[in-house]
Amino acid sequence: MSDLLPAGVFLVIALIATGRIVLLLSAWPGASSRLWPWLRLQRWWPVPADHAAETLLRQMLTPEEYDQLKLRAYLDIQSRAHLGRLYRVPRGPGQVQVLEGGRVVERLCVQPLDSLPEADVILMHKMLIEADESSYLATANHFPRAVWR
C-alpha cells in the first residue's frame, strides 16, 4: 500500500498539471483556435455533432481558408456585391465585422434560430454571404461604427 502512495500522488499532480496546461492554452486565442478544432477532428472526440461539423467545415473550405481560421480564429469572406468589402467571421461567439479599405465600418449579428455546432455557424455565414448577400444583410442586426466605437 505504501508503495502505491507515491505513484498515486504523482498521478494526481500530473493530472492537475495537464488540466492547467489545457486551461492556459484555452485562454490563449491563438492556441485555442488550433487546439479545439484539432481535437474535434479526432475520431475519438466525444461529441459527434462537433466532430461532424468540424469535418464538414474543413471539407467545404479551401486549405487556405481553413489555415486562416486556425491561425487567426476568423474567416474572411469577400463580398460579391460590394467591391472591396470583406466580412470577417469569428470562430466562436462574436459579431461579424464588415471591413472596407481595411477598416471596420460596422458589425453584424446574425444567428441560427436553432442551435448549431460552432463550425456549422461559420459555414452558415460563409454560405449565406456567398449565395445571398442581400438577404443576409437584410436579416442582420447592424451595429454601425458610431454605436460601439
Minimal distance, residue 45 CB to other proteins, in Å? 11
Provide the edge-to-edge strand list for the sheet that holds 85-90.
74-78, 85-90, 96-100
Report the candidate in 101, 99, 108, 107 with the shortest Cα–Cα distance to residue 76: 99
Tell me 38's DSSP state.
H
CB of 59 to other proteins, least distance (A): 10
Q: Closer to other proteins at the Cβ: 75 or 123?
A: 123
In this complex, which beta carbon is closest to other proteins, that of residue 27 or of residue 83? 83
CB of 68 to other proteins, least distance (A): 17
Question: Taking the complex as a whole, how short is the minimal distance between the CB of residue 107 and other proteins, in angstroms?
Answer: 11
Q: Contact at 8 Å (CB) between 80 and 133?
A: yes
SS3 category, 63: helix
Report the interface residues with other proteins, using CB under 8 A: 48-53, 55-56, 60, 80, 95, 109-117, 120, 123-124, 126-128, 130-132, 135, 139-141
Nearer to other proteins, 18 or 139 (CB): 139
Closer to other proteins by CB, 93 or 102: give it. Answer: 93
The answer to whether residues 113 and 106 touch, using CB atoms and an 8 Å cutoff, is: no
Reading the block at residue 35, the C-alpha cell is 487546439
CB of 28 to other proteins, least distance (A): 26
Q: Which is nearer to other proteins, 18 or 135 (CB)?
A: 135
**Contact between residue 38 and residue 22 where contact means Cβ atoms under 8 Å apart:** no
Indicate the residue type of 37: P
